[in-house]
Amino acid sequence: MTADSNKDLQYLKAIGRICAEALRRMQGAVRVGMTTRELDEIGRAFLETEGARSAPQAMYKFPGATCISVSPVIAHGIPNERLLREGELIHIDVSAELDGYFADTGASLVVSKSERRFEKLIEATRSSLNKALRAAKAGNRMNAISRAVQTEAGKRGYNVITDLTGHGIGRKLHEEPKEILNYYDSNDRRILNEGLVLAIEPFLTTGVGRVTQERDGWSLRTTDKAIAAQFEHTIVVTKNKPIILTA
């Protein structure tokens, strides 16, 4: 969607704040020995308290309020009775709806202790998101975002996951533009307009950058079982720096 009124911006900021706070609370609660279902319950309870609905549940009947993926699963992991172990790389994705407006955010983290190979990947992925946000200016091409992600990933010694992309958001969880690539495509001539609402989400990996779906019908893991990381913000494009709704 294009946010073209103060009302739009007000409501987008409200759901963005809720998603960001749910993610923050879940990150802070991660501990060895808890189940991913218990972690999901923290997010679900907060969304309910705020009057918001889980977007994946509402839109797609996803079997959890949030997506919690344990590496090598990188996206759409189903919360279940799996116990978190020390040193695991996990990914939390929170998307929700309030008053007809949607926001989406996510982050990767290591359970309980520092693992250098994971922390380097996490740092690089976060940096790729920051570089992408700087490129998200009205008048730029969409592929400026893609170039920023891929360039930063390469500088850091990682590949992007080409199968997973960012997307338009606002009145639906996924809307036009349907794909914001994490790799540069010179043929992508779409222009960013002021007020465009986007979910930008780089996925970086040590592997070949492809994913496959698990037997549960939801979870996406790297085909080569390589580690991967993801960070995501929902933004509103402006002529200068974007408004980060999920900061």
Task: Write out pLDDT tens, residues 209-224.
Answer: 999 999 999 999 999 9
Q: How far is CA 68 from the centre of its chain?
A: 11
Please tell me the pTM assigned to this model: 0.96
d(CA 206, CA 125): 11
d(CA 131, CA 153): 10
Task: Write out pLDDT tens, residues 19-78.
Answer: 999 999 999 999 999 999 999 999 999 999 999 999 999 999 999 999 999 999 999 999
pLDDT for 81 beyond 90: yes
Least confident of 79-83, 91-95, 110-114: 110-114
Task: Write out pLDDT tens, residues 2-17.
Answer: 999 999 999 999 999 9
6-244 maps to CATH 3.40.50.150: no
Task: Write out pLDDT tens, residues 168-193.
Answer: 999 999 999 999 999 999 999 999 99
% the chain with pLDDT above 70: 100
pLDDT for 138 beyond 90: yes
pLDDT for the residue numbered 114: 83
Angle (deg, nearest 10), helices 143-155 and 116-135: 150
pLDDT for the residue numbered 124: 98
Domain boundaries, the chain: 6-244
Whether omega for the bond prior to residue 177 falls within 30 degrees of 0, making it cis, is yes
Residue 145's Cβ-side half-sphere holds a number of Cα atoms within 13 Å equal to 30
pLDDT for 113 beyond 90: no
